[in-house]
Copies of this chain bind each other. A is one copy, B any other.
């Protein structure tokens, strides 16, 4: 264990010791067996597991919206595991019940809510599901009793570049794909408010019922912040529930310098914010926050008598279990709380400011370097999206063939970096843009040298393509 932690920051280690699925299966003998094994054998197995797992704490793992391994976060996680409790009643989780309440309250203050409620969910997707469920209950409380049968289609609006969890929430909650409308975005990837309003009108004209708008504060690929304040105007005008998905970008609220990107967020009915992303808290740590004090309880309560006995000898309003659709719930607050106590809000602020500074650094470098080309010239967040154009393509006319060939570059460079284990950066197409790299800065231990390395390494792997 110590070994993983110590090696995590060590740049001379590989990020990944790549094996294809078939090879790895051969190597590892994963089948459960009838008879137990010795300690020595188990330790060897653990070493193999560690060896072939991706080192997500490595400074050169910039593949996802999470990375790094905070020592306080890890300590908090380990104490959580050793205490092995479930967070539904005060009785079984007294400390964590109060801790969750306090942390959520402070987060609401960051948003600018004067009152409200919230809960930790196992991931941002579930926080977004929670948002859709609260919105539905707020607008159509009868659905809890009679369901959605017989209602005219209820419609949600979000960005065409929103995270797919909004779509998935739409399926799951019974709205269907057709009733999650995707609003057009501009060249920076931000929602065009006029298109939002046009689509709402269209829904009304078709006899369907708009009920919810979802803005994204930090889109998954571009890191774009939707125009939160303007969209709040639209939500207000039509009387719709307004949710801001700040799963990725929410962390900027901790920085005086950058929090203005979320101006107007206090007007939202609810917010998703994942400290496990921009703030670097270990997986997983996601919060759903709302300005409505009672909605979570109203929407989810089932009053199970075996858990939420009303004749308990303490104030049962501390039994939080009926605020969610979960029953057993892992404690996700301690690791975040411990990091907060250790660094202070100041520490988180410095972390955020450093990430944005790193972003400026690498963006400048990329703009100057031959063969690199920005997809988004001035990123809102710490997502850096760019193409690498190998020499063989540099003098071509930018016709279909050019783009088709450029489309194949990123996957090949990615394959190279994974086989060599030197770094991990993801790529994807988006809208009508061919495959480009998305490098995400989320670890404040990433140095300028690391960023120079990323650029050199892409060139090394791609220059003969």
Contact sample, A vs B, 14 pairs, CB 8 Å cutoff: A24-B94, A31-B106, A33-B341, A54-B83, A122-B126, A145-B176, A147-B174, A148-B148, A149-B149, A149-B154, A171-B325, A173-B173, A306-B438, A309-B427
A327–B125 contact, CB under 8 A? Answer: yes
A278 to chain B, nearest CB (A): 14
Q: How far is the CA of A164 from the CA of B133 in the complex (A)?
A: 17
Q: How far is the CA of A96 from the CA of B343 in the complex (A)?
A: 32
**Which of B53, B95, B169 contacts A49, CB < 8 Å?**
B95
B53–A125 contact, CB under 8 A? Answer: no
Residues of B within 8 A of A305 (CB): 428-430
Q: How far is the CA of A288 from the CA of B396 in the complex (A)?
A: 52
A42–B338 contact, CB under 8 A? Answer: yes
A232 to chain B, nearest CB (A): 26
Decide if A342 is an interface residue (CB 8 Å cutoff). yes
**Which of B56, B103, B318, B430 contacts A83, CB < 8 Å?**
B56
Interfacial residues of chain A within 139-154, with CB under 8 A of chain B in the complex: 143-154
Q: How far is the CA of A20 from the CA of B95 in the complex (A)?
A: 10
B148–A54 contact, CB under 8 A? Answer: no
Interfacial residues of chain A within 9-53, with CB under 8 A of chain B in the complex: 16, 18-21, 24-25, 28, 30-37, 42, 45-46, 48-50, 52-53
Residues of B within 8 A of A85 (CB): 53-54, 56, 283
Decide if A302 is an interface residue (CB 8 Å cutoff). yes
Residues of B within 8 A of A37 (CB): 341-342, 344
Residues of B within 8 A of A328 (CB): 66, 123-125, 276, 283-284
Residues of B within 8 A of A294 (CB): none
**Which of B32, B94, B145, B148 contacts A21, CB < 8 Å?**
B94
A346 and B176 in contact (CB under 8 A), knowing A85-B56, A326-B122?
Answer: no
A330 and B283 in contact (CB under 8 A), knowing A32-B103, A82-B5?
Answer: yes
Residues of B within 8 A of A78 (CB): 1, 78, 81
Size category, A interface: 35 or more
- Residue interface bits A264-308, CB-to-B below 8 A is 1, else 0: 000000000000100000111000000000000001101011110
Question: Closest B-chain residue to A5, C-beta based?
Answer: B82
Q: What 4 A-B pairs are tightest by C-beta distance, nearest first?
A: A174-B174, A147-B176, A122-B122, A306-B428
- Residue interface bits A421-435, CB-to-B below 8 A is 1, else 0: 000101111100001
A314–B66 contact, CB under 8 A? Answer: no
A310 to chain B, nearest CB (A): 10
Q: How far is the CA of A97 from the CA of B30 in the complex (A)?
A: 11
Q: How far is the CA of A212 from the CA of B141 in the complex (A)?
A: 24
A411 and B42 in contact (CB under 8 A), knowing A176-B147, A283-B86, A344-B35?
Answer: no
Question: Closest B-chain residue to A321, C-beta based?
Answer: B164
Decide if A102 is an interface residue (CB 8 Å cutoff). yes
Residues of B within 8 A of A358 (CB): none
A147 and B178 in contact (CB under 8 A), knowing A24-B95, A172-B172?
Answer: yes
Interface centre among A129, A152, A325 (most CB of B within 10 A): A325
Interfacial residues of chain A within 60-99, with CB under 8 A of chain B in the complex: 63-64, 66, 69, 72, 74-75, 77-79, 81-86, 90-99
**Which of B30, B145, B306, B314 contacts A220, CB < 8 Å?**
B306
Q: How far is the CA of A31 from the CA of B125 in the complex (A)?
A: 27
Decide if A4 is an interface residue (CB 8 Å cutoff). yes
A328 to chain B, nearest CB (A): 5
Decide if A217 is an interface residue (CB 8 Å cutoff). no
B283–A30 contact, CB under 8 A? Answer: no
A33 and B345 in contact (CB under 8 A), knowing A151-B149, A173-B173, A283-B86?
Answer: yes
Q: How far is the CA of A398 from the CA of B169 in the complex (A)?
A: 52
A36 and B344 in contact (CB under 8 A), knowing A53-B83, A84-B57, A125-B328?
Answer: yes
B340–A94 contact, CB under 8 A? Answer: no
Residues of B within 8 A of A18 (CB): 94
Decide if A464 is an interface residue (CB 8 Å cutoff). no
A341–B86 contact, CB under 8 A? Answer: no
